[in-house]
Amino acid sequence: MRKLVLLGGGYGNMRILLRLLPNNFPEDTTITLVDRTPHHSLKTEFYALAAGTTTDKDVRVDFPEHERLQLVYGEITKIDRDEKAVYLEDGQTIAYDDLVIGLGCEDNYHNVPGAEENTLSIQTIAKSRSTFEELLGLSPGSVVGIVGAGLSGIELASELRESRSDLKIKLFDRSPRILRDFPEKLSNYVKEWFVKNDVDVIANSNITKVEPNKLYNHEDVINVDAVVWTAGVQPVKIVRDMDVQKDRKGRPLVNQYFQLVDDENVSVVGDCASSDLPASAQLAEEQAERIVKVLKHRFKNEPLPEKMPEIKLKGFMGSLGKKQGFVHLADTTVTGRIARLMKSGLLWMYKRQNNG
């Protein structure tokens, strides 16, 4: 039997399963999916889990079932390309013929002293659960610092505001205006929401140190009761530790087939694959579509297409609590309730497509 092994049941590898199952892969092939959690976690919703505005069950989807799909739950510790094997913490070894690495990313603390030790995270479902417990356990009127005003920081700040009206929320933004790389209309809309809902956005900030209950912004010391870090990501450590050519963010370089440049048996998908496009679930899914195309050729021992179709992202969406949001699609920006409904609709469709 030929063995296709998928590492990580995130957006990328879920799309691969969706396309290959039930019968778009050969009879002589088995698929093994390895993840530390027994479900596909909807990372795009972790901000709501951490803020306490959605339930744990609402941010996960069961993995599919198939007689030739083996689900292995455990912590992957090493990928050995010479042995064509993957090692798990519990001692299991999984051999592969074709491997797709889709292990995602983790926080990047940019060497800020104390950041890793003294901040909460929303990068994994387990960490989001702990963050939920910390945030919701805070006494009335506590101060919460959120470091990083990208999409996840914005969504967390707004959802937490709706969840706990008593908290003082300070959102630290490195740039002079929120969502600086997007149209001013969008920035102004988000800014106005924060003003109206009493979230303090601190522009031009630079967090230089974090101590228990203290954030250092430039030279200012800010007393806080909890801090959530949403200020950047990097590929997971196992991927950073791989002996492969990488980009400056530590992500393995891939060719147009999303294979490692020196290993056609290993593909990389999603947040841990090098790309010029911004990391997102949408990008992971588009890359997965191309990996499926390549795998189908490989299953039949056919030559690969000379040129793979270019990836074009459709845009992005964000929420400001449960009632307001924004959508930026094809250079058009939509804000308000309709945008929020569009985002909820997309989530509903995604879950439906994946049997959630």
Ligand X SMILES: Cc1cc2nc3c(=O)[nH]c(=O)nc-3n(C[C@H](O)[C@H](O)[C@H](O)COP(=O)(O)OP(=O)(O)OC[C@H]3O[C@@H](n4cnc5c(N)ncnc54)[C@H](O)[C@@H]3O)c2cc1C
d(CA 127, CA 107): 11
Instruction: State which of residues 22, 24, 26, 37 lies at the interface with ligand X (CB under 6 A).
Output: 37
d(CA 222, CA 217): 7
- As a 3-state breakdown, the chain gives helix, strand, coil percent values, each rounded to 5, of 30, 30, 40
Residue 2 β-bridge partners = 29
Residue with smaller CB distance to ligand X, 236 or 260? 236
The nearest distance, CB 217 to ligand X, in angstroms, is: 22
Number of amino acids touching ligand X (CB under 6 A): 33
Instruction: State which of residues 33, 49, 76, 202 lies at the interface with ligand X (CB under 6 A).
Output: 76
The nearest distance, CB 27 to ligand X, in angstroms, is: 27
d(CA 172, CA 167): 16
Among residue numbers 102 through 161, which ones bind ligand X (CB under 6 A)? 102-104, 122, 151-152, 155
- Write out the H or E segment, with its range, that includes residue 345: helix 337-353
Residue 281, interface with ligand X (CB under 6 A)?
Answer: yes
Instruction: State which of residues 32, 41, 54, 158 lies at the interface with ligand X (CB under 6 A).
Output: 41
Interacting span for ligand X (CB under 6 A) from 41-49, 256-264, 324-332, 347-355: 41-49
Residue 235 β-bridge partners = 105
Contact letters (x/-) for ligand X, 226-265, by CB under 6 A?
Answer: ----------x-x---------------------------
Could you tell me the two tokens for 129? 């659960």
Identify which of 19, 76, 10 has the alpha carbon closest to the alpha carbon of residue 43.
Answer: 10
The nearest distance, CB 110 to ligand X, in angstroms, is: 17
Could you tell me the two tokens for 69? 């799909």
Instruction: List, in sequence order, the alpha helices (H) in 180-251.
Output: 184-196, 237-240
Q: Are 102 and 10 spatial neighbours (Cβ–Cβ below 8 Å)?
A: yes
Residues that bind ligand X (CB under 6 A): 8-12, 34-37, 41, 43-44, 46-47, 75-76, 102-104, 122, 151-152, 155, 236, 238, 270-271, 279-282, 284, 317
